[in-house]
Amino acid sequence: MLIALKLLGSIALLIYGMKVMSEALQKMAGPQLRHMLGAMTTNRFSGVLTGALVTVAVQSSAATTVMTVSFVNAALLTLAQAISIIMGANIGTTMSAWIMSAGFSFNIANVVWPAFLVGIILIQTGKHRYVGDFLFGLSFLLFALGMLKQTGTEMDLASNPAVVDFFASFKTNYGTIFLFLLIGTILTALVQSSAALMAITMVLCSTGAITIYQGIALVMGENIGTTVTANLAAMSANTQARRTAMAHLLFNVFGVCWVLIFFFPFVRMVCGVVGLDPEADSQSATQLSFALATFHTFFNVINTAVLIWFIPQIERIVCMIIKPRKSEEEDEFRLQYIRGGIMKTPEISVLQAQKEIVVFGEKMQKMYDILKELYHADEEQFPKLYERVKKYEDLSDKMENEIGKYLGDVGAAHLSDDTKDKIRAMLREIGELESIGDSFFNIARILKRKRDNKVEFTAEQINGGQQMVALIEDALVQMNSLLSGRKEDGEIGPSEQIELSINECRNRLKQENIDALDHREYGYNNGTVFMDLIAECEKTGDYIMNVVEARLGVESTVVSHN
């Protein structure tokens, strides 16, 4: 029982170490990862190189793949670019296998304790904290490998008759290979870590519990099982993102198929590279672990070398398999970029939320366009347009809630100061955008009151209202331009000038309204409805200005009407 608990604890520690190390590397790299993926995918070869480099950098093919899926979901990468990156990620992930095989060839304690010491000093002092987190995660990873190696020795499975007889009952044939391939696939899908299963496979091989043929079959299954992570992340994403995840699955399934055809000669070739006799009764644990790592590398490199020439064909196949959802063809009231759980990389989660905020701003622009139609609508059109405005107001509430909840979940993670600042600014943006939606609906209600009370505006009132409408439209266009552009390129000056013009227009119309009432040019009810309309438009201008200030990181100079 103690040995079993040590085995499970070591696996848990290994997974935790990989997670901490991967997250620390992602934080150190920060936005550069996004720029790498976007800038270095000009052709299929640079895409493969980028995928490999990013995966080596973050030590997680799952993180790279999920990141790629989210980029496709956010329309930042094409499907063809994403397929090449995923091919590279499969090559980059082989580095983890080599780290583990190295852990079986020397005394890990010589590295672990100094790394723990340096890591904890860096974390506690606050200087180079992410480097400290990385060293801490690496130390846990290596310590877990050492414990697995020790536990494997203590288990001494090769001397246990029951275990020996059990595995000996599996003949070295294709039936056994298929069985172990299936076991590897299921276990990796359940554990959600191919690295953990690779470590277990190395322990089982090094203790003599399973043959190298069975171990390599498990590794093949791990390659299929690891695709589950990306497919789960893409389940509620858009069509292109789901196609990207499916391409990852097809890539690994194809690799497994051709290896199965040449399985025994291929395994013997791999064993020959590391000087291992696969048929020998007594084998070196170090050689066995190196053989598994070598197979993993050969499998992914050869697979990529073959399939890199067929990316357009793979793209066509996944497009045939994954059809667009009906709701995606025209679904006005559904988030586009946030469709599922949080991406494993906080930087990408923030990017997705920002893309969704751009859509939020565009929805408010559409709501405003409907509002202009409502202003000139006849008796038949008015009720339909009013209901559309109301639906958009409900939509703005839902978008604020969903984006806000998503950002709240992202904010619960351990983030860099820069990312925390981005989240705070984005929360302010969505709050003000929702206020714009409320304000537009208030304008619709004022127009309904005007219609119900049969109020008719004078030519001067209509002209003044059109001036205010034009200014609000200018403010909205400028706001959406800033939301969709780079923060560093934005300037607050144009928005401040429009806001000043809105306030001047409001003050002028207010004075003109007072003068018109004094001269009895129209009744009090007419003047009240008109000024309510102008005042609500001015509030909208304030909310728009607040969004701009939040986007550019400027302290608010406008009094909020919330």
> Tell me: the pLDDT tens digits for 82-121?
888 888 888 887 887 777 676 666 555 566 777 778 888 8
Q: How far apart are CA 142 and CA 128, in angstroms?
A: 21
Rg (CA), the chain: 31
- What mean pLDDT do residues 180-208 have? 78
Q: Is the pLDDT of residue 533 over 50?
A: yes
SS3 408: helix
- What mean pLDDT do residues 167-187 have? 81
So what's the pLDDT on residue 107? 59
Q: Please, what sign has the CA dihedral across residues 25, 76, 318, 337?
A: positive
Residue 205 Cα distances to 13, 170, 217, angstroms: 21, 15, 12
Q: How far apart are CA 2 and CA 4, in angstroms?
A: 5
Q: 205 and 278 in contact (C-beta within 8 Å)? A: no
Q: How far apart are CA 178 and CA 194, in angstroms?
A: 18
- What mean pLDDT do residues 168-191 have? 81
So what's the pLDDT on residue 506? 92
Which of 154-163, 238-247, 272-281, 385-394 has the weakest average pLDDT?
Answer: 154-163
Nearest to 430 by CA among 335, 537, 535: 335
Q: How far apart are CA 83 and CA 74, in angstroms?
A: 16
Confidence of residue 326 (pLDDT cuts 50, 70, 90): low
Q: How far apart are CA 440 and CA 435, in angstroms?
A: 9
Give the model confidence (pLDDT) of 36-78 as tens digits. 555 555 677 888 887 887 777 665 666 677 667 766 765 667 7
Q: How far apart are CA 189 and CA 224, in angstroms?
A: 8
Nearest to 293 by CA among 15, 90, 11, 100: 100
Nearest to 148 by CA among 291, 11, 246, 44: 11
Q: Is the pLDDT of residue 469 over 50?
A: yes
In the CATH hierarchy, which fold is given to the domain comprising 346-552?
Methane Monooxygenase Hydroxylase; Chain G, domain 1 (1.20.58)
Choice between 331 and 427, residue whose per-residue pLDDT is larger: 427
Residue 401 Cα distances to 35, 336, 398, 412, angstroms: 29, 15, 5, 16
Residue 59 Cα distances to 33, 56, 204, 248, angstroms: 13, 5, 23, 18
Q: Is the pLDDT of residue 561 over 50?
A: no
Q: How far apart are CA 389 and CA 444, in angstroms?
A: 7
Q: Identify which of 15-24, 45-54, 316-325, 540-549 has the greatest average pLDDT.
A: 540-549
Helix (H) or strand (E) holding 286: helix 285-307
Q: How far apart are CA 222 and CA 530, in angstroms?
A: 69
Q: How far apart are CA 256 and CA 181, in angstroms?
A: 9
Q: 63 and 26 in contact (C-beta within 8 Å)? A: yes
Residues 6+ apart with CB under 8 A from 427: 404, 407
In the chain, the percentage of residues whose pLDDT exceeds 90 is: 17
Q: Is the pLDDT of residue 560 over 60?
A: no
Amino acid at 489: D
Could you give the dihedral angle defined by the CA atoms of residues 60, 64, 67 and 69, in that order, rounded to the nearest 10 degrees?
-120
Could you give the dihedral angle defined by the CA atoms of residues 171, 173, 175 and 180, in that order, rounded to the nearest 10 degrees?
80
Instruction: List the chain domain ranges.
Output: 2-321, 346-552
- What mean pLDDT do residues 254-259 have? 90
Give the model confidence (pLDDT) of 373-410 as tens digits. 888 888 888 888 898 898 888 888 888 888 888 888 78
So what's the pLDDT on residue 209? 74
So what's the pLDDT on residue 327? 46
So what's the pLDDT on residue 193? 67
Choice between 419 and 545, residue whose per-residue pLDDT is larger: 545
Q: How far apart are CA 72 and CA 345, in angstroms?
A: 15
SS3 115: helix
Mean per-residue pLDDT of the chain: 80
Environment class of 149 (CB within 10 Å of its CB; exposed 0-12, middle 13-18, buried 19+): buried
Residue 136 Cα distances to 13, 120, 525, angstroms: 12, 7, 71
Helix (H) or strand (E) holding 256: helix 239-261
Q: 51 and 68 in contact (C-beta within 8 Å)? A: yes
So what's the pLDDT on residue 99? 72
The residue to which tokens 């858009």 are assigned: 238
Confidence of residue 140 (pLDDT cuts 50, 70, 90): confident
- What mean pLDDT do residues 192-200 have? 73
- What mean pLDDT do residues 446-465 have? 88
In the chain, the percentage of residues whose pLDDT exceeds 70 is: 77
Give the model confidence (pLDDT) of 334-357 as tens digits. 566 665 444 446 667 787 788 889
Q: Is the pLDDT of residue 333 over 50?
A: no
Give the model confidence (pLDDT) of 199-233 as tens digits. 778 777 877 778 888 888 988 988 888 787 667 76
Residues 6+ apart with CB under 8 A from 40: 46, 47, 49, 50
So what's the pLDDT on residue 507? 93
Phi, psi values for residue 348, rounded to 5°: -75, -35
So what's the pLDDT on residue 547? 93
Pinpoint the alpha helices (H) of 485-558: 493-518, 524-552
Confidence of residue 242 (pLDDT cuts 50, 70, 90): confident
Confidence of residue 27 (pLDDT cuts 50, 70, 90): low
Q: 36 and 50 in contact (C-beta within 8 Å)? A: yes
How many CA atoms lie within 13 Å of 245's alpha carbon, on the beta-carbon side?
26
Which of 31-45, 118-132, 235-249, 262-276 has the weakest average pLDDT?
Answer: 31-45
Nearest to 51 by CA among 94, 14, 20: 94
So what's the pLDDT on residue 504? 93
CB count in 10 Å sphere of residue 174:
13
So what's the pLDDT on residue 445? 93
Choice between 32 and 384, residue whose per-residue pLDDT is larger: 384
Q: Is the pLDDT of residue 175 over 70?
A: yes
Q: Is the pLDDT of residue 498 over 90?
A: yes
Which of 219-223, 237-241, 454-458, 508-512 has the weakest average pLDDT?
Answer: 237-241
Q: How far apart are CA 89 and CA 296, in angstroms?
A: 13
Q: What is the DSSP letter of 486?
A: -
Choice between 196 and 453, residue whose per-residue pLDDT is larger: 453
End-to-end CA separation in angstroms for the chain? 61
Choice between 47 and 304, residue whose per-residue pLDDT is larger: 304
